[in-house]
Structure 1
């Protein structure tokens, strides 16, 4: 590393592109120490995560809150894509749902369109406290920690943040797919619909059994790492 940086600085002197570095010897020593520590940490035997079986089910929101579940689906990445979502109250009762046939896009974009329309409907229904459940860890990361302005999905994340920043409370959580079956079913249902947004004031027959399972608290087994 010392040789590489020495050569880089020499070339920088020739072409006049060197930045300021007050103590180059200390810089190289610090860099060598960081790389050595990283190498040692990776060479240590890592404990394997323990997989256990857990029962996963949809959970109702607290009284006075609205639960929004959204999901996206894509046949290919990119490929033919859809999104779906549903708003439910503390009893698990259906408030409103939607199915969105997008066209062709990536899976994360489909997920974000689902989040956007879920928040849009919650705002239109004058919800003041919202629990937003999404089964994509990537999308939850975009919504909670932000995204670079140069990222191709930044415009859509900004649209979602525009809703989140309004005068209401929005809690965003990552859930397993087993707890998001209804939104997943609506996203798959959207493949059978024409392109565009479809508002669902009543429960489509294709997901009626899932609605009943969620209300009853039916749980599904899943292997998870701890």
Structure 2
């Protein structure tokens, strides 16, 4: 059973999400929050598997709430809902540590699949779309002088040469299938490498791995 905290400042929107989630045997609503402040508090109290996070809320917005939830180190994964599929809010949410984002007008089955994917540790943003986001807002990435040299970055120090190669192409938007085909590896081997990369670098999911590849300048914006 996956528990979900619904966070939105619109009561009718929360009601709709609740009705959808309660129709599923494997999902349950842990609670509801109408502000970012309440979202942070309830996440700490209820420890839901997934926080379904609205961005635009009065007071503390969803970006800051996401940042605080992730910084607390709890197991909760954040799935952000945004009005547009490519905007600065989605970018900021991913940088804050969200495991993905969906547009608010997504089909119910897409939302349910996204919640389940995030709960299982996957990311809900296609690698290529994550790269588009980062390329679009590349001016907000650390300047070369502010970022860590890949050769000395402690997050990369434990990676093997093959793992660093795979992290680089993850940052370039390659899927597991593409990595397997182009590097002549079994897809199961690629999945094992990706899992080890996440564990060694301490990043939460594939989206954050893409961001790490940018931050360390393994990949440079187009």
Greater helix content: 2
Higher Rg: 1
Greater strand content: 1
Task: Flag the structure with more relative contact order, 1 or 2, with Cα contacts below 8 A and sequence separation at least 6.
Answer: 1
TM-score (norm 2): 0.23
